[in-house]
Amino acid sequence: MSVNSLAQPQFVSSGNISPARVVVRSATVARTAAQGAAGTTTPIGLSVNAVKFSNNPFDGTAYSYTCVSGDVIPYVGEGQIGYATSGAAISALGKPLVCNASGKVETATPVDAGTLNYTVGYPLATASAADELIPVLVSIGPIFV
């Protein structure tokens, strides 16, 4: 799995991003992104399933985030396979995933007519409950559900 390859643009984080979460681009600031908070925002991919360590070699304190504000975001983008945290049980492998309010993935479900959501990808395994790591094929695009 390549992360931030030459073909994949770099984005700077505008806030803390947890591991294995949906990352969405800023609508107002170029090359800036944040942890997803809704399925209606355009995703760029999934944050890597790793945590950042302090830059102080004598500290070694582990953060609970993949990156913090101002960091270049390590993420898995279009056409790649990464891990995502489930926001609920995921039982259907063929149904697209969308971002929930916590940056976790959930199966796309019908919403108000005309509401535009964005797919994050497709699950490659099921989840029996929320907060499980599942492999996801990242495939970003608009979807009316």
Quick one: pLDDT at residue 59? 66
Q: What share of the chain is helix, strand, coil (3-state, %, to 5)?
A: 0, 40, 60
**Does residue 102 surpass a pLDDT of 90?**
yes
Distance in angstroms (rounded) separating the CA atoms of residues 114 and 93: 25
What pLDDT was estimated at residue 27? Answer: 87
DSSP for 13-60 reads ESS-B-TT-EEEE-SSSTTEEEE---TTS-EEEEE-S---B-S-TTT-
Kindly tell me if the per-residue pLDDT of 110 is higher than 90: no
Asked whether residue 25 carries a pLDDT value surpassing 90, the answer given is yes
